[in-house]
A = this chain, B = another copy of it.
Amino acid sequence: MSHQNIAIEKTRTALVFIEFQAEWLTENGILFQRLIQDKDAFRTAVTNAELVLNAARKVAWTIAHAGLDLRDDPKCLVFAEGKDVLGLRAAIPKAGTWIGSGAAFIPPFVPTDGEFVARGRSGASVLKNSNLDAFLRNNRIDTIILMGFATHVCVESTLREAHDSGFNVYVVTDACAAFTRAQDEYFSQHILHHFGAGITAASLVKLLNNGDAICAS
């Protein structure tokens, strides 16, 4: 499947940073420790995302930060405290993630003035039950470019829901990381093209520097 000539226009596009928070980005983060097996691949993804972030800030592209933050709901009432629910809704309360310092954004991914921080998110997809969708719609953004963690969990759920909701979605494949390199490769080979398209951090940085209207190959 080729995607030539679909424009990525600055005024209609947002970069979405998914979970650049301490739970993943610090050496003692619970998720980094327990889940990330290919730690070098993970660190490379962070570095690449930083390159994109810096380029985007220089040219004032729209940036949204979509973390998970349960510090105001430490019992995870939103997930019924993990009782009688399957999946992440049970796993998160059990692991005790996102309710403390693990929810902090880590420099340089700390939101700055003019950057949007999604609130209310309570699913793997950062669009589900969050005000990110409202932000995007109200700002007439129809294209999103995703980075973050983990590729095959929250990034992929966002990709899938965004596709179904009518967004064009690009995934910066080397600015995301799954638990293993093999999972990242599987995602790129078997999943991504059904719902969007991939782009490398280097290509994206180049495009950001080019200015207003760009095309993906």
Residues of A within 8 A of B (CB): 1, 3, 6-7, 72-73, 75, 77-80, 84-91, 114, 116-125, 128-140, 142, 152-153, 156-157, 160-161, 163-169, 183, 186, 190-191, 193-197
Residues of B within 8 A of A122 (CB): 131, 134-135, 164
Beta-carbon contact of A139 and B194 below 8 Å? no
CB neighbours of A142 from chain B (8 A): 137, 140
Given contacts A87-B163, A123-B164, 5 further A-B contacts (CB under 8 A): A1-B91, A89-B163, A120-B131, A138-B166, A186-B190
**What is the CB-to-nearest-CB distance from A188 to chain B, in angstroms, rounded to a whole number?**
13
| Structural contact, B135 and A78, CB atoms closer than 8 A | yes
**Chain A to chain B contacts (Cβ below 8 Å), 9 pairs:** A1-B90, A3-B86, A3-B90, A87-B195, A88-B194, A125-B161, A129-B132, A140-B142, A153-B194
Given A117-B72, A120-B129, A131-B130, the answer on whether A165 and B137 have CB atoms closer than 8 Å is yes
Asked if B139 and A133 make an inter-chain contact with CB atoms under 8 angstroms apart, the answer reads no
Contact A86 B197 (CB under 8 A): yes
Q: Of B86, B116, B152, B166, which contacts A191 at CB under 8 A?
A: B152
